[in-house]
A and B are shown apart, each in its own frame.
Chain A
């Protein structure tokens, strides 16, 4: 297209970083030029290209943007708009090293990790390292991202290995070795699936009663069947954009059992007939992305994959965990959710029929294939079958990922995690993360199943339990949650864009002037209703849950409520 570029030119490093991704530019001879559809079809490489620039320069510079524009025939304004959407891109930034210390609720009690002198510092929402926080995400030009953690407590797994199904390889099998994976039963589920055929796999999934672990609890068999039945060139996606504060189980799986993710996605592709797959990994999870890329390459080289899999790194946007926002992000647009319908199995990424599941759901499918749907259905409860991963963090003795059968209560999990620190009592538990619900001691006795939590007006969400002890001042916690949503709102729809800000302002007024509490509580209620009813996606619809429950529980605003 007819681009108009700013006058700044890319540095040699930026140019070669982008060329390494896109290939060398064609030399024009002033006689012919190929452009149009062929070039514009590469739009989806925008996010990887921006990563290449950021990795090279430590910032998204004007010259770098001009070069991406030219190479991909994307208007520079569009490149800028996309880059500015993501937290990790330092648009027009100073370059050099950036450090992002987590200041989110799960690790609040442990303070904020120290940062290096002379670095550019940008405080971050939860980095998904709550088992070993406080954490810092560091970016250094030429060296990429690294995570520095504070209180590592002997790895994320604290359960006897014999009790584990989903986590059985974590910490026990070398995640960088395909042979080790094969030796531990790897790729047997895929072989089994191929032997029985796609339809039989769906029958197994339906018999298993498996529901999605990402929060919506949609029956997996039905979802896969919908994609299988869709006509057209299909895509399957593993959603590894785990960004819910207090959630890190998918990170643990991706880092420590990456081949399982690859196998599960290949299985998804086989059953649905997709030939193309993506693993979308949270940008703050550099180790997960690297291990998955290596796993895809190794499995591909060994001829184990019929599915072409690409690992895509997010770039710091909670909203991209929402499936339609994730599609937009893969396509090279701002990660803005889309109104549904159409649903992904009709028109998903690139407008193609798309199957998408989160990481835990996918690796759980392997277990269904391993033990059979009927056996799987015997695990857990009738309405909530199988094993489930929970992330327990906050003021507990051993924060980590815990695998239990559905039916376990919060108290069971708290016990597994060693309970609240010695000498302290429980303040509250936030079930489900920032988009979740606070519960008190009585909530700990609710079995954490889909059906029981619904009845008790709790939530499993993505499987986080953030524990706060009785010394917690909940006002900053609730304010941080409100700020999380206003920071992470994509800004598209008014109820969320303005509503999340108004929610935070209302809380501030309430906390600084307790006499205003009744008025603010009413206002928050009005806001919550409108955000829940009218937001485009789940972010706006859940942004008031934790705040409302904290008020209801008397954690904040109680004196005058």
Chain B
């Protein structure tokens, strides 16, 4: 594929055709905040924390999805772009619980001087978590409606379509049909929604319990890559252990067999290894 050359913040950058502005920024060691952008998913274009200025475009453009054109002139750090990103971060943090979003995002908020306290009002914080089974928890007070879980459950990965965005505007929310409990829905408990959730709104039960209890400690965890013990597809698994006990099982998103996805057995069916009658 041909290479394209563009200008980012005054510097010349060459990237393969089809790259996004974000790809181009990262290719030269830069970065921008992202939330709804999932590496294994099509850009949802909704969180708007990655906006940049492109000369000739009326509005700001989302860097995670806008594909680079030859000769494009991009400014990532103008007052206008920073202002917009800052306000959007403030709006997000004022409306949902972002405590469990990864550290990089809090660093971005600090970097931009975001002050969510400026915006008080309607929030989904404080909504009770939905704990319906032993496998995973839906803690929707943390949901920023990034669409990643819906896309992963839907056509892009799992094709189960157990969840959707329902309602509209600020009332829009992730829901099963008629908001029935998960066991009554189409959910197959693959947990592929958990794998893509950037905010901790969807979490394995063990991890969520540990986080609630304050015992989840990523610094004391080890990750061992292996292959699932069930069928013969060969899904890679990352076994997360803390003090010799398995606390989570995931699949690497750069593994071309799974793209980070698993089935219920792979993600949750490992408890036999710690079963008592061994």
Contact = CB atoms under 8 A, between A and B. Distances in A.
Interface of A: 1, 3-4, 6, 62, 65, 75-81, 84-85, 91-92, 317, 334, 338-339, 486-495, 497-502, 505, 523, 526-527, 529-530, 532-536, 541
B48 A494 contact: yes
Contacts of A533: 51, 59-60, 80, 83-84
Interface string B47-66: 11101000000011010011
Interface residues of B, number: 51
A502 B169 contact: no
B259 interface: no
B216 to A, nearest CB: 28
A500 B177 CA distance: 27
B88 interface: yes
Contacts of B92: 494, 498
B151 to A, nearest CB: 12
Closest 7 CB pairs of A and B: A491-B172, A81-B164, A75-B161, A530-B87, A505-B121, A498-B91, A4-B186
A9 to B, nearest CB: 14
Contacts, number: 160
Interface string B179-217: 010001110000000000000000000000000000000
A536 B48 CA distance: 9
B29 interface: no
Contacts of B169: 486-491, 497, 500-501
Contacts of B60: 533-534
A491 B59 contact: no
Given A6-B184, A79-B177, A491-B167, 20 more contacts: A1-B159, A1-B161, A75-B186, A77-B164, A77-B186, A85-B167, A486-B169, A491-B169, A493-B48, A494-B144, A498-B170, A500-B170, A501-B170, A502-B94, A505-B122, A527-B87, A533-B80, A533-B83, A535-B48, A541-B59
Contacts of B186: 3-4, 75-77
A158 to B, nearest CB: 37
B242 interface: no
B237 to A, nearest CB: 25
Interface in B75-105: 80, 83-84, 87-88, 91-92, 94-95
Summarize B's interface: helix, strand, loop or mixed: loop
A403 to B, nearest CB: 31
27 contacts: A4-B185, A62-B178, A75-B177, A75-B186, A77-B164, A81-B164, A339-B45, A339-B62, A486-B169, A488-B168, A490-B172, A493-B47, A494-B92, A494-B144, A495-B84, A495-B87, A497-B170, A497-B172, A498-B119, A499-B91, A501-B122, A502-B91, A505-B122, A533-B80, A534-B48, A534-B51, A536-B48
A511 B144 CA distance: 29
Nearest to B80: A533
B220 interface: no
Contacts of B91: 494-495, 498-499, 502, 530
Contact of B145 (A75, A491, A526): A491
Overall SS of chain A's interface: helix
B223 interface: no
A78 B92 CA distance: 26
B46 A493 contact: yes
B163 interface: yes
Contacts of A498: 91-92, 94-95, 119, 170
Contacts of B165: 81, 334, 491
B171 interface: yes
Contacts of A317: 168
Nearest to B91: A498
A533 to B, nearest CB: 5
A92 B87 contact: no
A84 B166 contact: yes
Contact of A491 (B47, B62, B168): B168
Interface string B97-131: 00000000000000000000011111000000000
A513 to B, nearest CB: 13
B118 A523 contact: yes
B45 to A, nearest CB: 5
Given A6-B180, A492-B46, A526 B87 contact: yes
A526 B60 CA distance: 15
A523 B119 contact: yes
B17 to A, nearest CB: 15
A337 to B, nearest CB: 10
B84 A491 contact: no
A529 B177 contact: no
Contact of A529 (B84, B168, B176): B84
B162 interface: yes
A80 B48 contact: no
Nearest to B186: A4
A77 B176 contact: yes
A339 B65 contact: yes
B175 interface: yes
A492 B154 CA distance: 17
Contacts of A494: 46-49, 88, 91-92, 144
Interface in B14-62: 45-49, 51, 59-60, 62
B177 A491 contact: no
A397 B120 CA distance: 43
Nearest to B171: A491
A76 B185 CA distance: 9
